[in-house]
Amino acid sequence: MAEQSLSLILGGVRSGKSRHAEALIEAHPSAWRYLATAQPLDEEMAERIAAHQARRSAGWITVEAPLDLAGALAEAPDGQPVLIDCLTIWLSNVMLAGRDPEAEADRLAAALARPRGPWIAVANEVGLGVIPDNALARRFCDAAGRLNQAIAATADHVVLMVAGQALRVR
């Protein structure tokens, strides 16, 4: 991975996306910046967040960025390895906050198109299942698909995780 590059790690739930992304970032010298998008809105999510935090080593700097990922990227020092986990939760946060997901996604895609270090973004591939039965879920899946396509279009590397295995897309 080049010093100024963007990698997109896609996959389903529990496919190994985060672990793979963490291992790629940890191949660089620390300190590594972790842009966390999840919010502990229920007990199960709080447990997921705690598990992610517990497995990270001491070299990580965690920045909570549930809504302003572009701003958090702007604050990252040049050359610092950055992991964004995850774009899909961020998109959900944006939609639940009543913000325009297309405008926010465009803003984020513009920031990610100019990496100032080795940057890795994690996202769920939500388009492999059945079409959701309600309008909000369909709107979310459509927005997530468009976001993933926009980020993948400018990414230097794209990886699809399947059952813990990394499949190089580009």
Q: CATH code at 86?
A: 3.40.50.300
Average pLDDT over residues 13-27: 94
The boundaries of the domain holding residue 136 are: 5-168
The question of whether 157 is a catalytic residue gets the answer no
Residue type present at position 61: I
Give residue for tokens 């972790």: 34
pLDDT digits (tens, 9 = 90+) for 84-135: 999 999 999 999 999 999 999 999 999 999 999 999 999 999 988 888 899 9
Higher pLDDT: 113 or 53? It is 113
Q: Rounded to an integer, what distance in angstroms lies between the CA atom of residue 40 and that of residue 26?
A: 25
DSSP character string of the chain:
--SSEEEEEEE-TTSSHHHHHHHHHHTSPSPEEEEE-----SHHHHHHHHHHHHHS-TTEEEEE-SS-HHHHHHHSPTT--EEEE-HHHHHHHHHHTT--HHHHHHHHHHHHTS-SSEEEEEEE--TTSPPPSSHHHHHHHHHHHHHHHHHHHH-SEEEEEETTEEEE--
Structural domains in the chain (count): 1
Average pLDDT over residues 14-34: 94
Catalytic residue among 20, 28, 52, 157: 52
Characterize the bridge pairing of strands 82-85 and 118-124: parallel
pTM: 0.93
Angle 17-26/43-55 helices, nearest 10 degrees?
30
Tell me what pLDDT residue 45 has.
83
Provide the pLDDT confidence category of residue 63 given band limits of 50, 70 and 90.
very high
Q: What is the mean pLDDT of the chain?
A: 93
pLDDT digits (tens, 9 = 90+) for 121-168: 999 999 888 888 999 999 999 999 999 999 999 999 999 999 999 999
Q: Is the pLDDT of residue 34 over 80?
A: yes
